[in-house]
């Protein structure tokens, strides 16, 4: 068990580096303050907000690109994308327990159903 924990810990530190996150955070802060000093009021504020939105998205894209090989199906990440297998969402009728792919049950016509992932 301790070896498994050490392997997990090393993978987590490779995927998420706190130092890199802080560098991106302070770099975006410095660039946004600089733009607010150089540009007039509405344009500087808009550019600063755009940078605060763009930098975390760039960081998240980099980390998700690194995580691509860690899923079972290799599909990238997320809650529903990890183990779906590409079959889509199937529904189970609560009245007759028939599995189908539509809004109403083709067997009994009931609209009461639950999603089966």
Against a cut of 0.75, is the pTM above it?
Answer: no
Look at residue 10 in the predicted model and tell me its pLDDT: 53
Reply yes or no on whether the pLDDT at 65 is more than 80.
Answer: no
What mean pLDDT comes out for the span 29-47?
90
| pLDDT > 70 in the chain, percent | 68
Provide the residue count of the chain.
117
What mean pLDDT comes out for the span 46-59?
85
Look at residue 74 in the predicted model and tell me its pLDDT: 46
Q: Are 32 and 24 in contact (CB under 8 A)?
A: no
Look at residue 22 in the predicted model and tell me its pLDDT: 83
First to last CA, the chain: 31
Mean pLDDT of the chain: 75
116 pLDDT band, cuts 50/70/90, is confident
Q: Which long-range contacts (CB under 8 A, 24 or more apart) does 64-73 make?
A: 66/14, 66/15, 67/15, 70/11, 70/15
pLDDT in tens, 66-115: 776 554 444 444 555 554 455 678 899 999 999 988 888 999 999 989 98
């Amino acid at each position: 068990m301790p070896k498994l924990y050490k392997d997990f810990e090393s993978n987590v530190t490779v995927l998420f580096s706190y130092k890199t996150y802080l560098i991106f955070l302070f770099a975006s802060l410095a660039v946004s303050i600089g733009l607010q000093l150089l540009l007039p009021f509405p344009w500087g504020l808009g550019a600063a907000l755009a940078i605060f939105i763009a930098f975390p998205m760039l960081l998240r894209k980099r980390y998700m690109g690194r995580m691509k090989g860690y899923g079972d199906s290799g599909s990238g990440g997320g809650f529903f994308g990890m183990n779906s297998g590409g079959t889509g969402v199937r529904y189970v009728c609560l009245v007759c327990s028939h599995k189908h792919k539509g809004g109403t049950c083709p067997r009994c016509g009931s609209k009461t159903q639950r999603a089966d992932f």
